[in-house]
Chains A and B, each alone.
Chain A
Amino acid sequence: MTTTVRNVVRVAPPPAGPSWRGRLRAPAVFVLVAVLALVVAPLLLEPFRLGLLAKYLCFGIVALGIGLAWGQGGMLTLGQGVFFGLGGYAMGMYLKLHDAGGDLPDFMVWSGVEKLPALWVPFENPVFAVAFAVIGPVVLAVLLGSLVFRQRVRGAYFAILTQALAAATVILLVGQQGLTGGTNGLTNFFDLFGQDLAADGTQRGLYIVVAAVLGVLYLVAWQLVRSRFGRLLIAIRDGEDRVRFLGYNPATVKTVTFAVSAGMAGLAGALFVPVVGIISPALLGVVPSLELVVAVAVGGRFSLAGAVLGAVVMGYAKTSFSEQFADGWLYLQGALFILVMTLAPKGIFGLAATARDFVVSRRPRTGRPLMSTGTADIGGPLIEAQEPRA
């Protein structure tokens, strides 16, 4: 034991545990942001802007899931739009049936459908619709994940697979005009649980719900990241094959994470529909799925807050920029993505860390021997794992 083994390792003392002030910083920031979002924003913003913010926060929920799956778990999912769409359509179907009040939804009449399709019938029940918005995506993700991850499909192959899923979903939706509303999707909603959807009060209430859901899900994701599960997820991201030899099945861990992120996207879709008033194939295909991944990358994929922030900021930037230059956004978005990926791979939220790494890499190394794996003996003194002093 320690008596038999000489302690030849000389190291700087380990950093002391965070002080109570350090420990309280994250919760304090969270509370501050929550107060800003739940109290200050509804008071200050006019209804139109508040509605836009609610929309960005819906994207923020999807981004949170992407941050979890991609940033923490290394699963680059380019098809979150599919889960978002599942949730959105579930909610849209309920709203459509509710508005029709026992008749057929308007678009079905236009497409010559005479009887309500069996697929639609359960969505008359709002509880079923909302539950399906979450459970549907989770089940789909579990099916997909257990198939794909067990076969050790990962990296670019997984990304392409999810993107193909998004493309296929759009084709499916567009092709079934009578069932799904085709390219137009589902729109023209008037009433949510007895509330007029156009009323300012309803929209304000919806905004509060969206913000609260995002807050709760953020806490859930935060807990997950800080737990052993989160450590395991990072380990899988950085060395999946090694994790197998720790006795874990990476496929299970990845499937669970993927399902959580899918559930989040589904819930976001269900919230998005009453907030924005439409769900259509254009909102869940390859491009919107990619846009969210870009937003997460720009915000900072290794931090949950960065992911959410990225989605909200990019959503806002898209709206305000498109107001002035209709087509310019696409180029700006592309340029921003390239800029971030080359200069600050950790995104806006990781700028401080990136800058620190840059400074450290510039600093001359103090004659510490660099040992790489598998090299021959190096004579000299043993490891001197000392921090280069500034």
Chain B
Amino acid sequence: MSGALLEVRDLSVVFDGFRAIDGIDLTVEQGELRFLIGPNGAGKTTLIDVITGLTRPAAGSVRFEGRDLVGRKEHEIVRMGVGRTFQTSVVFEQLSVVENLDLAASFRRPLWSLARRRRGVSDAVDAAMRTTGLDALADRPAGVLSHGQRQWLEIGMLIAQRPRLLLLDEPVAGMSGDERARTGELLTEIAKDHTVIVVEHDMDFLRRYASQVTVLHEGKVLVEGSVDEVRADPRVQEVYLGRADDKSRTGGGGEGRAGGDGDGPADGRSQAGDGEKSRGPAVGSAAGEVK
């Protein structure tokens, strides 16, 4: 139990006999910005799901600040200081931007105190709004936001929670070039004083903003190291970089949607995973067309 913030040991996840994660070890130190990459079905999102309590592992342990996370409920893990965003950004469309952020910032208040009305904007919410540049949209319903703005709102909600570990699941999927650049700046800003794990698919984005990278492949850790080390590794080039490079040049973003690259069962897995994730969050659909 050294100074590591997050320690994943010998983790396995099995979906209907398919080993989505097959003995992963991962250690993330306090203050680190770690990128998780890998082709479709490598188990990136599943790993995030296990850390945050959405998926139960078949074996292995996940320790955060020395305490085991496996078996705890989602909201308990959040209360311990682990926050996440979703690939399909899910915000509450009926609530305004500031209300979304305020809810995220208020979970430590006792329940009875929630019966009072919100007066003004708390510092945490204000900071989150300025960091994400959403202050101009504060009183607009989240339903009218564009896809990129939704992602920023989700990241803002995550900051407002003030977690000690942030997990971002493909924050730039489906974003335009400008939006990607902005999200990258946002990420750099956040990583200054937070420990962040980013699941990403986009190689350009990775090259520009990543330092430490863990490459997953078929449920296992393939390589771990700096961006340059990882990029130079022939195994990584073989399983991932070549193809992903092609993809990012043609502008493909979302995992599982880009599709068509051969790994049959893996695709099926990632779709099942998606379905699981969007159980409740029907809010996320119908992106910009409200109004």
Contacts and interface: CB of A to CB of B under 8 A. Distances in A.
B174 A235 contact: no
B138 interface: yes
Contact of A238 (B92, B134, B288): B92
B257 A229 contact: no
Contact of B185 (A5, A370, A372): A5
Contact of A370 (B135, B145, B289): B289
Contacts of A1: 130-131, 189
B102 A228 contact: yes
Contact of A377 (B78, B90, B140, B174): B174
Interface string B139-178: 1100011111110000001000100000000000111111
The interface residues of chain A, by DSSP majority, are classed as loop
Interface string A379-390: 110110101100
Nearest to B183: A5
Interface string B177-188: 111001001100
Contact of B92 (A15, A239, A376): A239
Contacts of A234: 92, 94-95
A247 B108 CA distance: 8
Given A232-B103, A252-B111, A378-B176, A244 B74 contact: yes
A371 B140 contact: no
Interface in A219-256: 223-224, 226-229, 231-232, 234-235, 238-242, 244-249, 252-253, 256
Contacts of A256: 111
Contact of A246 (B103, B146, B251, B288): B103
Contact of A14 (B90, B106, B139, B150): B139
Interface stretch (B3-11, B113-121, B226-234, B238-246): B113-121
A245 B84 contact: yes
B94 A238 contact: yes
Q: Which of B84, B115, B118, B279 has the most CB of A within 10 A?
A: B115
A6 interface: yes
B57 interface: no
A19 interface: no
Interface residues of A, number: 55
B285 interface: yes
Interface range on chain B (Cβ under 8 Å from partner):
35 or more
Contacts of B140: 11, 14, 385
A374 interface: yes
B99 A231 contact: yes
B203 to A, nearest CB: 14
23 contacts: A2-B133, A4-B189, A9-B137, A14-B137, A15-B139, A17-B139, A226-B117, A228-B103, A228-B118, A239-B90, A242-B86, A244-B73, A246-B104, A369-B288, A371-B148, A372-B285, A374-B173, A374-B174, A374-B254, A377-B252, A378-B176, A382-B146, A385-B140
Interface string A1-45: 110111111010011010000000000000000000000000000
Contacts of A49: none
Contacts of A380: 176
Contacts of B177: 377
A324 interface: no
B89 interface: yes
B268 interface: no
Given A228-B118, A377-B175, A379-B176, 19 more contacts: A1-B131, A4-B185, A6-B182, A7-B133, A8-B178, A8-B182, A14-B139, A223-B117, A224-B115, A227-B114, A228-B103, A231-B99, A244-B74, A246-B103, A246-B161, A247-B78, A375-B253, A377-B176, A383-B146
Q: Which of A1, A14, A245, A248 neighbours the largest number of chain B CB atoms within 10 Å of its CB?
A: A245
Contacts of B99: 231
A9 B132 CA distance: 11
B254 A242 contact: no
Contacts of B139: 14-15, 17
Contacts of B131: 1, 5
A60 B186 CA distance: 50
Interface string B95-113: 1000100111011110100
Contacts of A253: 111
Given A5-B189, A385-B149, A360 B251 contact: no
Given A227-B115, A234-B95, A248-B107, A382 B179 contact: yes
A151 interface: no
Interface in B270-287: 279-287
A253 to B, nearest CB: 8
A368 B117 contact: no
A227 B286 CA distance: 27
Contacts of B103: 228, 231-232, 235, 246
A54 to B, nearest CB: 30
B90 A382 contact: no
Contact of B291 (A224, A360, A369, A377): A360
A373 interface: yes
Contacts of A252: 111
Interface in A151-184: none
Given A373-B147, A376-B253, A385-B137, A241 B281 contact: yes
Q: Considering the complex of A and B, which 5 residue pairs feature the smallest CB-CB distances, nearest first?
A: A241-B280, A247-B107, A383-B146, A247-B78, A377-B251
B285 A373 contact: yes
A302 to B, nearest CB: 9
A379 B179 CA distance: 11
B258 interface: yes
A253 B87 CA distance: 26
Most buried by A among B79, B114, B289: B114
A384 to B, nearest CB: 8
A376 B88 CA distance: 13
Nearest to A363: B291
B168 to A, nearest CB: 13
A355 to B, nearest CB: 15
